[in-house]
Structure 1
Amino acid sequence: MTTDQLPAAAAIAALRGELRSILDSPGAVQQAELVDAIGELETLGRVVTAAQAELTARLDASLTREQEEAGARPEEIGRGVGHVVALARRESPHRGRRHLSLARIVPTELPHTWAAWKSGHIDEWGATVVARETACLPREHRAAVDEAVAGDADALAQLSPRQLMARLRSETEARDPGACVARRRKAESERHVTLRPAPDCMTWLTALLPVKDGVAAWAALTRTADTARAEGDPRTHGQVMADALVASVLAGPHERPSTPVSLGVVMTDAALFGGADDEAHLEDLGPIPAELAREIVCGAATAEEELSIRRLYASPTTGELVSMDARTRTFRGNLAKFVKLRDRTCRTPWCDAPVRHVDHVTGWQSSRSTSARGGQGLCEACNYAKTAHRWRARAAPDGSVTTTLPTGHQHTTRPPPIAMVRRRIVPVLQMDYVIAG
């Protein structure tokens, strides 16, 4: 009996047993082969989740057809299917219904995303993000965004989760800005705070807030922690932020923060003054729609908040912020701020962590110069990782950075574009607005 004649569950169990036997077999394996095997297993895991979605769709069709033939009322059709899926996956009914919804939508309404998922270019979460971010669009616009974002599966695979969401929001905003604004207004009306139990008698206190309020609160807590640590406070950065949050909440409600909070918006001049839809960038958060950026800037200008504007310039061919030079050895002041604005998040592929360290790509001892092109923004963990044995990094004239791992594998990254590509140097405005205390 061949594999395709076996029942699906038996065939999958046989494959699992074969894989387990390979993993249990002893023998020395080269480092590069281990990395390649880990990558193939990751791809296999993604294909497995796509297979689960396909089988879930088939189960849904079979059970709903059986309910229809049994004479169930229209409102009862499909009832209980999510629970069956949840039990099969050993998950809660809520997650089972979410898996079911994804299996119904992606294969039928997002064909390019479905193809990328089946081929292992994206995982289940990536498919979920595409489905979620396009949910507000009519079906024809949804199909257009699907083709624009997922039509090139290889390019899609290079996007981190944050980059994927930014690309989806940009494409969605371009096709139906009214639907995006309506969706955002609805989301703002659903702001709330939740409390969930955590291990070791701890809790997760979570607030869903409009973007300006959330980033302002984060900036205020970060500033408090930075000040405390600089003054010798023995608590960790996170501990200070948590304690400051509790203290401010228990002290009672305030209309404004007790200390000024500086936030930054980066957008093109055309987006601010000309009504263009060029995507903007909010520090400590990431990309936001141009319409929301204009609303934030206008609100700051009319609410007695201090507003300052600094001009930057982007490349006319790539949309990246152009470089700037400094004579100092360390990255500080405007140069460090420029690199953070240019890179937005950690330059390590798929990391998406906030930039905590601005450092030389190859080390000051090798380059003997400090410039924006020779620097990169990294999270703390990635900046320490690049100093490990046999890690090498090289900056290219085009602004890219190629990192070579100890196993010989290479990854190349570029700064994300800050502006739409045009035929001229693009003026980009960085606006720092201060919420007064």
Structure 2
Amino acid sequence: MSETGRLADTVTTTDVEHWVQALAAATGPDEQPERIDLLRALERLTCAAAGLQAQVTADFAAEQRRAAADAGVARERRDRGIASQIALARRESPHRGGIHLGLATALAAELPHTLGALRGGWITEWRATQIARETACLSIEDRAEIDRKLASDPERLEKMSDNDTVASARQMAYQADKQVWVRRKAKAHTERRVSIRPAPDTMAYVTALLPMAEGVACHAALAAAAASATATGDERTRGQIMADTLVARIIAAAIDDTAAPVSPVRVHLTVSDRTLFGSRDETAHVRGYGPIPADVARELVHAAATSGVAELRRVYTRPDTGAVVAMDRNTRLFPASLAELIRLRDPVCRTPWCDAPVRHIDHIHPAADGGPTTLENGQGLCEACNYAKQAPGWVAESINSPDGRHRVRITTPTGHTHHSLAPPAPRPAVA
């Protein structure tokens, strides 16, 4: 920043670091009106920063694609690793990195007025995302026309609520192309899925994204079951009955002889021996969920053992750090037992800030280059991160850690390094 307070044409990392330090050391005004004015100004600054992030992201991606093309990389593989680099820079998951990349590309290439409104601090990044999402199924020409109509006057766009923005963009899209809803519906149907994420107090959110008709039918069936149970005097709440019915219809035993048998479901619980047998109360770990209290872990094991479905397998760790003990293998593919050990050590994808489930057991040093099939050279990755690692310029290596825990150093094509440290396995506390 110059002495006059004006920004240079090119903003550098040093400039931004100075602003961050200034904001971190600053205090707000004493008067209430000035505090509101400052909140408004800081919000505009946040939006403008998001706009510059989008522009820089688009420029970075374009240069990466050009470099890949010059190197002879096939067109369908030129984007590999770009979203992951963006995610690491923004300290977010690769999934979020892909969203940022998609938005930046759309804004820079097809929605210049929306990008201008964002860079001017008139709209939020979320508002820009809404406009991009509602026009995604249109032709480039129709999208550009809606961008002009909706965002060429940023002050007017600023006064619109999120709902108004979505409604306006959606109506303009329909007027531009009556078949847009058909394409949107077809695309939405391909995105149906079921996901899980932890909830407080050893609960979990299991979410299903379904086509509207099926989703409404599922909810109606559960609601009908709740109404029927309530009518017979069931004292559970409506929500409790619906949740219990969902579980029973998916994983419980068949209700009658004609129903299809229920497939067994394995829950991977890692717990120290002293906790399991009651002398300690350290947390245990459930794959796909996270840490759980010791008493809950013991209840799960007891229930499984009582039903005759418990399977106990020993995993050896260092008592001081919880680092999993090595297991050597010489095969190209990870044997089931070794892959299972890696999954116990790596409960989620090892890429920093990625919490996706492990889908691939990856050779850190590629097997094609002589990398061994060992615990030290293995890591759990999600599918996207494993593919990103295969892009030119990415280097991953296992390095020694003072506490014995598994550590991986990741170097991106731009030379930036990130470290991934395996979480410690549950172990007894030192007496």
> Normalising to structure 2: TM-score of the pair?
0.49
Greater relative contact order, per chain length (Cα 8 Å cut-off, separation 6+): 1
